[in-house]
Amino acid sequence: MALILAIESSCDDTSAAVLRNDRILSNVIASQKVHEQYGGVVPELASRAHQQNIVPVVDAAISNAGISRSDIDAVAFTRGPGLLGSLLVGVSFAKGFAQAFDRPLIEVNHLQAHVLSHFIKESDDSVVPQFPFVCLLVSGGHTQILLLRSHFEIEVLGQTIDDAAGEAIDKAAKIMDLGYPGGPIIDRLAAQGNADAFHFATPHIPGFDYSFSGLKTSFLYFLRDQLAENPDFIEQNKADLCASIQKCIVDFLLGKMERAVKKCGARQIAIAGGVSANSLLRSSLQQMGQRHGWKVFIPKFQYCTDNAAMVGIAGYFKYLRGEFADISLPPFAR
């Protein structure tokens, strides 16, 4: 049996979790509201907030798990990718804790942690994917189609060549002055709109790769032309615009994924990452699975965005392999 303390601080959420083997005991997340007024994450403010949050968040995670600090067997931490200043806070805390209690360190890749979040168990009845399976990883900074043959044998079938899906959604929200973070706002407004009201061209990228920079630009030019004729165009069509751009992005994401799954012959599919909280993406993936008889795995909302539970499960599988990190390892941004 292993008790894993996990630390996540890659962007603007400070999180700590405790796992007993693959079973979650606690998962505490402190979000940062300070970035809302700037329309995006300010790295310097994020790192300062992490410094303020890290100790109380870890204390809460250990307390909620019903254990003491000395019970911890290993400390897992997000080494990267992410914001360097934010990562430094979590990495430094993990190193200090490990040294203080003479416990081993486990470095975790943030993207791999998102994918492995499907293996977090909340009870004995929890169902996890069987290998091989295909996972669509979609977040603010990354978009990838991955084939998992084991926890650590992961093949990239396709990925974005420029911007990520989450960036495109956030940019659309910013252009329409909807607020930050844009993803949940667009998702909420889209539920009230007509997804077929407007049509945006889908990028033509060979293979299973993605590109979202052109879609962002075409959306900007479309709105510019409409606003030139009607200054109230966005306000009058806000819900329809949200529904239409969201449908365009989701269709683009799943169209590539569907072809990739068919080519590799997998029978199980999954999504992960912050954008996997999007309601249209979740329902459309379910429908795609039903059409083809594929088993679908969708993470609970608390495991979609950045959280330490996913770091803990990745750390647990590394713990079983005896893969421990040297205390001299620095964080990496990319």
pLDDT in tens, 141-192: 889 999 999 999 999 999 999 989 998 999 999 999 998 888 999 999 999 9
Lowest-confidence range among 28-37, 71-80, 130-139, 277-286?
A: 28-37
What is the structure's pLDDT at 36? 65
The whole-number average pLDDT for the span 69-92 is 96
Share of the chain above pLDDT 90, in %: 84
Q: What type of residue sits at position 17?
A: A
Q: Where are the alpha helices (DSSP H) in the chain?
A: 43-65, 84-101, 110-116, 165-175, 182-190, 213-229, 233-264, 279-292, 308-321
In the predicted structure, residue 275 carries a pLDDT above the cut 90: yes
pLDDT in tens, 210-243: 999 999 899 999 999 999 999 999 999 999 999 9
Give 204 or 320, the one with higher predicted confidence: 320
Separation CA 289–CA 301 (nearest Å): 20
The whole-number average pLDDT for the span 47-63 is 93
Closest-CA residue to 142 (of 275, 308, 298, 246): 275
Q: How confident is the model at residue 37 (pLDDT cuts 50, 70, 90)?
A: low
Q: In what order do the strands lie in the sheet with 13-20?
A: 23-31, 13-20, 3-8, 74-80, 105-109
Paired sense of beta strands 105-109 and 133-138, if any = unpaired
Closest-CA residue to 186 (of 270, 281, 300): 281
What is the structure's pLDDT at 179? 87
What is the structure's pLDDT at 188? 96
What is the structure's pLDDT at 130? 96
Give 179 or 284, the one with higher predicted confidence: 284
pLDDT in tens, 101-141: 999 999 999 999 999 999 999 988 899 999 999 999 998 78
What is the structure's pLDDT at 136? 98
Whether the CB-CB separation of 83 and 41 falls below 8 Å is answered with yes
Please give the mean pLDDT across all residues of the chain. Answer: 94
Helices (H) and strands (E) in the chain, counts: 9, 10
pTM: 0.93
What is the structure's pLDDT at 1? 84
Structure-token pair, residue 28: 């505490």
